[in-house]
Amino acid sequence: MKTLRQSGFNAADIVSDGNKFLTGNGWLGYRGTLDEYGAKECVALNIAGVYDGVKGKWRETVNAFNPFFAVVYSGKTPLDARGENVCSHEISLEISNGTFSRKTVFSVDGAKVTLCAERFVNAARKNGLCSRITLTSDKDLTLVIKVGVDTDIWDLNGPHFKEVHTSQCGNVIEASGVTQELGYSIRTVCGYSLPPENFCNGFGTVEANLKKGKPFVLDRVAEVLCGGENYSGISYDAARAEHLKEWKRLWKLSRIEISDDERAQFALDYSIYHLLILAPKGEYSIAARGLSGQTYKGAVFWDTEIFMLPFFLHSLPECAKNLVRYRINTLPEARKKAKYYGYGGAFYAWESQDGFDACSDFNVQDVFTHRPVRTYFKDKQIHISADVAYAVLSYYEHTGDDGLMLGGGLETVLECAEFARTYSYYNHIKGRYELLDVIGPDEYHERVNNNAFTNYMFREITVRGIKLAEKLQKKYPTETEEVLKKLPDGIISKLKEWANKLYLPQPDGMGIIEQFDGYFKAEDVNVEEVRSRLKHPNEYWGGSGGVATATRVIKQADVIMLFNLFPELFSKEIQKANYDFYLPYTEHGSSLSHCAYALTACRIGNAEGAYKAFLDSAEIDLRGGGKQWAGEIYIGGTHPAASGGAWMTAVYGFGYKRKEN
């Protein structure tokens, strides 16, 4: 498998390299940064599903203290990749086994010193990560390495720790803190193969007496520990061995080989790598920006259910189960949210932090006025509940896991349907139920009526949910009765009647399904025209005053995404007509968009369009792509939904085509 390599140093790439060279193990993510970097360079050791909020700021995932700070000194001169004494510099990521390496050659007092460092987040051990520094010189030389656990960490809405303490005991340095909001005690503990001296504030020094040509090695074995967890003290070599073994297993289960196309092969390997480093190690889920930082508050969106889950279902079903369980476990919060807005059933969090909706009423900040912009994602993007139900049903289709369905799965699906039923409005004149005042996947058009994606999604999950209930009723009458008893009386018959009368927008004379009522009346301009109207590069295109709001320009695949979830409901001709119609209006302002077009392109036989969109999805983090700003809000990081989308395109898209032939 090819290694990702990058030679030379460019300060402008520090942040995107942090994403591109990310390592992780599903619980911890370590950005692809250098040991000599600090908070300013966005070093982050991000923890999945551990949240903290600081008063007046958004709640987000916590970054742990950084165990791998190190600067090598020759006298007072640091050996730093940004310095003038650099002869060569290279960083690499071994995607076959999740190892990040750097090799920098410095010119030091007439000697050539090579600094190598490798780092991995232990795939076999939830809280472990290791690093090995190797120094070699072509002359005898004494250097000093400043090492330590850095407590000055990068935060978007921090600082998250109070009561910060550092200490040293023998070869081990530790930094501990307590989170501001929920009082979690989190420690970063790091053991060194040589004891650091001159300890002060988390840092110490190790002297490196280099003998010409002989490598000097310093190992660091770190762990991020919560509450009373203990440091394991495992050796570097033992940790490395278990890590490599686990990566072998992961790739064995998930690798897809593509013949005669190195670029596509690497792009797909890289996408799968990004999914593997996010595979949850427990009943928690995956954030929209994975473990690359605190962007989007470390919250879980529909990205996981619709774009990432398929990969896990086919490759690592035990992780898929964790993802589904996460939603089942957060059903009580979803019920609370529905109730809060005056509805029945379950309305899932648009930005879920353990079920709590972290989505703010003002999720964007205007670049001109610096004022918060009222957005309605939390209140109106109701398709999230359909997405959750769709995921539970897909999980069942793939696994036949009756136990999970009786243990919360069925309840979740029916409650999601019930939410939409109670949200809907009965149009007496037209004799149909309608879903009014919603936001579809295209977030630039808020508060629209009868978004086709939303209506079809709810109809389908309802019909399939009822079938599931009936199947379980036959197989396990008593247990199913117990489940139904927890739900509103007569729920099945009410849902049946509702689903039969729910309005489903039909293709017009040209075969086009209108994205929402009145979409066709919006200004007919393409993406480039709308882009040319921007007065600021980071301007938000949607909301009440966005450049796209009154036009046909959409942020991301909407009707097209629907085809990917229910291809059998729409003929090839209809899919083609809509693909041709919507593509020129699609900005791809969300990383979720390219793969949606790629998948549909595969089904309609547009190989060229499919291939381009596949690469746009698979290479997004290799290219440092994706929007970095929504108004004044930073939205950079990795794009695991695009990685999942690339996987889907390969398997459901190109794979599907092959099957047809």
Interface with ligand BGC (CB under 6 A)? 288, 296, 301-303, 441, 443, 555-556, 590, 592, 641
Question: Can you list the alpha helix ranges (DSSP code H) found in 487-571?
Answer: 491-501, 527-532, 559-565
Shortest spacing between CB 602 and ligand BGC, in angstroms: 21
User: Rounded to whole angstroms, how far apart are CA atoms 145 and 332?
Assistant: 51
Shortest spacing between CB 341 and ligand BGC, in angstroms: 20
Shortest spacing between CB 375 and ligand BGC, in angstroms: 11
CB nearer ligand BGC, residue 97 or residue 304: 304
DSSP-derived secondary structure letter, 512: P
Exposed/middle/buried for 152, CB within 10 Å: 0-12, 13-18, 19+? middle
φ/ψ of 156, rounded to 5, equals -85, -40
Shortest spacing between CB 379 and ligand BGC, in angstroms: 15
CB nearer ligand BGC, residue 188 or residue 556: 556
Which residues partner with 168 through β-bridges? 173
CB nearer ligand BGC, residue 364 or residue 484: 364
User: Rounded to whole angstroms, how far apart are CA atoms 576 and 587?
Assistant: 19
Which residues partner with 150 through β-bridges? 66
- Count the residues in the chain: 661
CB nearer ligand BGC, residue 192 or residue 377: 377
How many angstroms separate the Cα of 403 from the Cα of each of 472, 476, 653?
10, 10, 31
Query: CB neighbours (10 Å) of residue 361?
Result: 12
The catalytic residue positions are 443
Shortest spacing between CB 425 and ligand BGC, in angstroms: 25
Shortest spacing between CB 555 and ligand BGC, in angstroms: 6
CB nearer ligand BGC, residue 41 or residue 587: 587
User: Rounded to whole angstroms, how far apart are CA atoms 617 and 635?
Assistant: 17
Q: Give ∠ CA 346-351-352 in degrees, rounded to 5.
A: 65
Shortest spacing between CB 398 and ligand BGC, in angstroms: 23
DSSP states of 156-212 as a string?
SS---EEEEEEEEETTEEEEEEEETTT--EEEEEEEESS--EEEETTEEEEEEEE-T
User: Rounded to whole angstroms, how far apart are CA atoms 272 and 73?
Assistant: 38
User: Rounded to whole angstroms, how far apart are CA atoms 228 and 127?
Assistant: 13
Longest distance between any two alpha carbons in the chain, whole Å: 90
Shortest spacing between CB 585 and ligand BGC, in angstroms: 15
Helix (H) or strand (E) holding 474: helix 452-475
CB nearer ligand BGC, residue 20 or residue 102: 20
- Is there a contact between 109 and 85 (Cβ–Cβ < 8 Å)? no
- Is there a contact between 292 and 156 (Cβ–Cβ < 8 Å)? no
- Is there a contact between 540 and 364 (Cβ–Cβ < 8 Å)? yes
Query: CB neighbours (10 Å) of residue 366?
Result: 18
CB nearer ligand BGC, residue 69 or residue 301: 301
User: Rounded to whole angstroms, how far apart are CA atoms 171 and 167?
Assistant: 11
DSSP-derived secondary structure letter, 427: E
CB nearer ligand BGC, residue 25 or residue 556: 556
Question: Can you list the alpha helix ranges (DSSP code H) found in 502-546?
Answer: 527-532
Shortest spacing between CB 609 and ligand BGC, in angstroms: 21
CB nearer ligand BGC, residue 28 or residue 439: 439
- Is there a contact between 21 and 12 (Cβ–Cβ < 8 Å)? no
DSSP-derived secondary structure letter, 151: -
- Is there a contact between 149 and 188 (Cβ–Cβ < 8 Å)? yes
